[in-house]
Amino acid sequence: MTPHPSSAAPNDLRNQLYRYAQDMQELMEQHSRVQARYQAVLQSQGRASLSNDLLLVGIREGLTPYLVTDSSGMIAQVNACTEPLLGAPGPGLRGLSLMQLVPRAQQQTLVTVLAQLVYMNGSSAILQCQIGLYDGVEVDSICQFDVLIVPLQTYAKVEFFWLLHPANPDMPDALSALQQFNLLNDSGFGLLLTDASAAICATNPAFTRITGFEASEVIGRNPELLSAGRHDDAFYQSFWSELSTLGSWSGEFFNRRKGGQIYPEWKTVKAVKNVTGDTLAYLSVFADGAHQRVDTDQLARMAYHDTLTGLPNRRLLEDRVAQSLSQAQRDGLGLSLLFIDLDRFKPINDKFGHEVGDQVLQEVARRLKKSVRQGDTAARVGGDEFVIMLQGAVRAADVESIASTVLTKLGAPIIVGGHKLLVGASIGCARYPQDGGDMVTLLKHADRSMYAAKRFGGNHFCLHEGRGDLNGVANLGHDLWQALERNEMHLVYQPQVTAGGALCGCEALLRWTHGALGSVLPLTFVPLAEATGAILPLGDWVLDSACRQLKQFQEAGLHQLTMAVNVSARQLNDPDFPNRVCQILLATGIAPHLLELEVTESEALLCESDGQQRLQSLRALGVKIAVDDFGTGFSSLSRLHTLPVDRLKIDQSFVRDLATSLNARAISQCFVSLGLAMGLEVVAEGVETSEQYQVLTNQGCHLIQGYFTGRPMTAQALLAQFKPVSPALPL
């Protein structure tokens, strides 16, 4: 039964508000932790090589300002948070010399440090430096920074990568952290942020909805302007004393709207402190307590949504499944339920505590929401259990494709409070009408299949084994060994083009058409082949087939085409691997420089040092080596230097948001510059739109691969699309 609003609202609302304020506080603390961690690195690594892990945390979260200059200090690139930090409106910082922003006394020190880095081959330098805040015309005030400088050297030129860390984190940082996470604007609660002297610095749209005041009318003023005069001095005394001793206050507060109407607020106020315990700001989170409107809305949400993640709860899921089932029965459509259980949630929760556990669940929820299509539902049904309802998806291949996306998304590390957590998930699936006609039966079957996936070692997906043709992944491992004999494997080729649009290479991608299940995605079977060892014969077959195909492309006139082949760490760890590559090159007559081996960033670093030696010896022969999925593996820049590499392939996750996100642009620019600075060719993968293509080519990316310039296709299709026109014969 739905609880009566007036009896249930206060406590539930108060809890929810409190949790919300805690989340905000957590964000602030996360910000401080990133800074503290950075500080620790600065202190511990006297001769530090920059950890890319740290760099990525900072850059991804948009909290670490950085810039790249040429050898004279001319600013070539800055990331999204640097310009607001250094205060550059209008033309921005590019093209300005960093030296112009540094007081004269410091310029000499800087020049000496830069010269030492270049001429004495230093790997990095750490120093304290004053940098001016530029108002577009002149430097007005000076701020102290801890600076880490890393030289980026190529044969041709030297550039410097500068990481800036404000020595005294204060209000602008806290604000930018909040804005960065976009929470001020998204929240359904009213938010009010004041500085330490209680002057209002920021509000959100819900604040305006509730109070009637626009942000511009209240910024800089004291929240007193909202006071309804209902509370006496004793009330305020206890309010401030709780806030200063406990750091937070929760309760009912009477305020007055702009129009004069007095209304109750359910309010939580938190003091936002920096690492040293000084109060930087007060954050007030509140809901309109004038019952009818707020309570019905809020209660409806609370009754049907999980308060921690905001996802639909079991009750809403049941409603939606019932609705969709009756629609499916009426229209003869299908429906699938994916039961998702996290693989390593419990140990993470036990080791790092509930707060970290909660954040992991929230991130999982965000990733699930992004994985499903419009009209589908992702719900949280238990501690670490989630269910996705897919409308209309009954073909094994469709369900599998979505399950693979979910597995990949949940397999990527989750970063909480400086910990890089690998959570992973197991997924079981049941489908209507094959596996049951009601929610209870379908959920039971999906749950059972999930356990089958767990028995497989986690990070797997199983379809319910209700009917002969629906055998799940559990048998795939076995079938993989026979796939070659049964002629079920083939290769497709995805074009790689230059910034000018000319075809220059292609990547061979493996495809499996399973006798009973139809097409199975590489994201499902490649990890399985790696786990079972079947990748060795398969990888060998791929190399051989790809080189033979390249020969045929050459014979058709595509003489300089390169062929990229994905290689797994398991293959690199095989001592016979370089010999096999040589044999294949000799047998097919392919020049080594036209073959490129793609190793993912994490695998390149994971494979044993012998494996890296093998890559080195192949490279000495002329074979090209590419780091695949660059940016996802958290490798360190210094390790990257030691790897035998010719190309970086920027992972598609960084390409996806290029057209809309400044941060994504900054990251891709950073990768392109890193690649260029290290003398490597840079390829962007997953380029789907002309906007992404434009941004990347403007940023200096050499090669483009993605649906925009060509999907993976058969060799015939590639030839038909790109076959060179024969020159007209001279008469």
**Residue 568 binding partner per list ligand C2E, Mg ion, none, with a CB distance cut-off of 5 to 8 Å that depends on partner kind:** ligand C2E
- Decide whether 70 or 646 has the Cβ nearer to ligand C2E: 646
- Decide whether 308 or 521 has the Cβ nearer to ligand C2E: 521
**Residue 688 binding partner per list ligand C2E, Mg ion, none, with a CB distance cut-off of 5 to 8 Å that depends on partner kind:** ligand C2E
Continuous segment of H or E residues that includes residue 76: strand 75-78
Q: Are strands 518-520 and 385-391 parallel, antiparallel or unpaired?
A: unpaired
Q: How far is the CB of 646 from ligand C2E (least distance, A)?
A: 16
Based on the shown chain and the rule CB under 5 A, indicate whether residue 596 belongs to the binding site for Mg ion: no
- Decide whether 306 or 507 has the Cβ nearer to ligand C2E: 507
Continuous segment of H or E residues that includes residue 593: none
DSSP assignment of 603-635 equals HHHHS-HHHHHHHHHHHHHT-EEEEEEETSS--
- Decide whether 343 or 598 has the Cβ nearer to ligand C2E: 598
Segment interacting with Mg ion, rule: CB under 5 A, options 393-401, 525-533, 554-562, 592-600: 592-600
Based on the shown chain and the rule CB under 5 A, indicate whether residue 598 belongs to the binding site for Mg ion: yes
Q: How far is the CB of 525 from ligand C2E (least distance, A)?
A: 9
**Residue 523 binding partner per list ligand C2E, Mg ion, none, with a CB distance cut-off of 5 to 8 Å that depends on partner kind:** ligand C2E
Which position has the token pair 């540094």?
Answer: 102
The answer to whether the beta carbons of residues 508 and 549 sit under 8 Å apart is: yes
Based on the shown chain and the rule CB under 5 A, indicate whether residue 629 belongs to the binding site for Mg ion: yes
Q: Phi and psi at residue 651, in whole multiples of 5°?
A: -65, 150
- Decide whether 132 or 539 has the Cβ nearer to ligand C2E: 539
Which residues sit at the interface with ligand C2E, rule CB under 6 A? 494, 509-510, 521-523, 526, 535, 539, 542, 566-568, 598, 628-629, 652, 685-688, 706-707, 712
Rounded Cα distance between 513 and 520, Å, is: 6
**Residue 324 binding partner per list ligand C2E, Mg ion, none, with a CB distance cut-off of 5 to 8 Å that depends on partner kind:** none
Segment interacting with Mg ion, rule: CB under 5 A, options 159-167, 595-603, 640-648, 701-709: 595-603
Q: How far is the CB of 54 from ligand C2E (least distance, A)?
A: 25
Rounded Cα distance between 386 and 364, Å, is: 9
Rounded Cα distance between 269 and 281, Å, is: 10
**Residue 673 binding partner per list ligand C2E, Mg ion, none, with a CB distance cut-off of 5 to 8 Å that depends on partner kind:** none
Rounded Cα distance between 640 and 638, Å, is: 5
Cα-only R_g, the chain = 29
- Decide whether 282 or 493 has the Cβ nearer to ligand C2E: 493
Q: How far is the CB of 670 from ligand C2E (least distance, A)?
A: 20
* DSSP label at residue 727: P
- Decide whether 363 or 628 has the Cβ nearer to ligand C2E: 628
Rounded Cα distance between 513 and 522, Å, is: 11
Q: How far is the CB of 490 from Mg ion (least distance, A)?
A: 17
The answer to whether the beta carbons of residues 82 and 66 sit under 8 Å apart is: yes
The answer to whether the beta carbons of residues 285 and 190 sit under 8 Å apart is: yes
Exposed (0-12), middle (13-18) or buried (19+): which is 247, by Cβ within 10 Å? Answer: middle
Based on the shown chain and the rule CB under 5 A, indicate whether residue 53 belongs to the binding site for Mg ion: no
**Residue 510 binding partner per list ligand C2E, Mg ion, none, with a CB distance cut-off of 5 to 8 Å that depends on partner kind:** ligand C2E
How many Cβ atoms sit within 10 Å of the Cβ of residue 622?
Answer: 12
- Decide whether 384 or 598 has the Cβ nearer to ligand C2E: 598
- Decide whether 59 or 489 has the Cβ nearer to ligand C2E: 489
Binding residues among 414-453 for Mg ion as defined by CB under 5 A: none
Using CA of residue 187, residue 192, residue 195, residue 200, what is the dihedral sign?
Answer: positive
Which position has the token pair 């991608």?
Answer: 509
- Decide whether 408 or 434 has the Cβ nearer to Mg ion: 408
Q: How far is the CB of 521 from ligand C2E (least distance, A)?
A: 5
Binding residues among 543-582 for Mg ion as defined by CB under 5 A: 566
Rounded Cα distance between 660 and 689, Å, is: 12
Q: Which of 75, 87, 279 is nearest to 195 (CA)?
A: 279
Q: How far is the CB of 684 from Mg ion (least distance, A)?
A: 10
The tally of CA atoms less than 13 A away on the side-chain side of residue 306 is 22
Q: How far is the CB of 446 from ligand C2E (least distance, A)?
A: 25
Q: Retrieve residue 567's tokens.
A: 């290689």
Based on the shown chain and the rule CB under 5 A, indicate whether residue 268 belongs to the binding site for Mg ion: no
DSSP assignment of 183-196 equals HHHH-SSEEEEEET
Instruction: From residue 467, give the alpha-carbon distance in Å to each of 328, 436, 488, 517.
Output: 20, 12, 22, 12
- Decide whether 387 or 497 has the Cβ nearer to Mg ion: 497
Q: How far is the CB of 618 from ligand C2E (least distance, A)?
A: 16
Residues found near Mg ion in the complex (CB under 5 A): 566, 598, 628-629
